[in-house]
Amino acid sequence: MKTFAVAMLVVAGTLSVIAVADSVNFDNAPVGQAPAGWTATKTGSGNAKWTIEKDDTAPSKPNVLKQSGVATYPVCFKDDTNLKDGFVEVKFKSISGKEDQAGGVVWRLKDANNYYVARANALEDNVTIYDTVNGRRSERKRANMKVATNQWHTLRVDFQGTHFTVTFDGKKAIEWDDEKFKDAGKVGVWTKADSVTEFDDFSYSGS
């Protein structure tokens, strides 16, 4: 009985380690500027504008990370991350955009021109996975799913080796395999063109 109890404690301890994830809710960051410890930039041309703002509808009040500029692909990634296998997840709300209304996550990012990205689009009602190589984005797979404007959604990617699983609002959207970026890299968030998008509860885990 004693042996069983010890075994259960070991299992519980292992599960607790697995379950631990780093999370950022932006609530302690100064409003009106980009979050410290993040690189707020873009892929391509234009002027991305990444700022911390208040939003009473935020999943964890009061602050969110907002992108309100116009650039080819605005991207904002967390500087101290370096994950090869694990997951990245964010809650996002598409507010407006004539050309695009996108919210996305990036992983295995080497720099602002090389990374994987999965995004949901409220204008097109779909979820899509891409690779971006030397600044050029290529679509790899998509799924039609309802993405409502001005509502909070959850986008997540689990990545293990060459296999990637994209989940949207708790439902599996895409599975894809690729070997382009094998090494560990940074994780972050992403939009496109004139998308005005807010992000909250950014979380990740892995090694």
State the pTM of this model: 0.90
Tell me which DSSP letter residue 77 carries: E
Torsion region of 125: left, alpha or beta (phi above 0 gives left; psi -120 to 50 gives alpha): left
Q: C-alpha distances in angstroms, 37 versus 15, 24, 31, 47, 62? A: 29, 11, 15, 20, 20
Q: How confident is residue 17, by pLDDT bands cut at 50, 70 and 90? A: very low
User: Mean of the pLDDT values across residues 38-57?
Assistant: 98
CA angle at residue 125 from 155 to 39, to 5 degrees?
A: 40
Average pLDDT of the chain is 93
The confidence score (pLDDT) of residue 20 equals 81
Token pair of 170, please?
């708790």
- 56-95 pLDDT tens trace: 999 999 999 999 999 999 999 999 999 999 999 999 999 9
Tokens representing residue 2 in the block: 């004693």
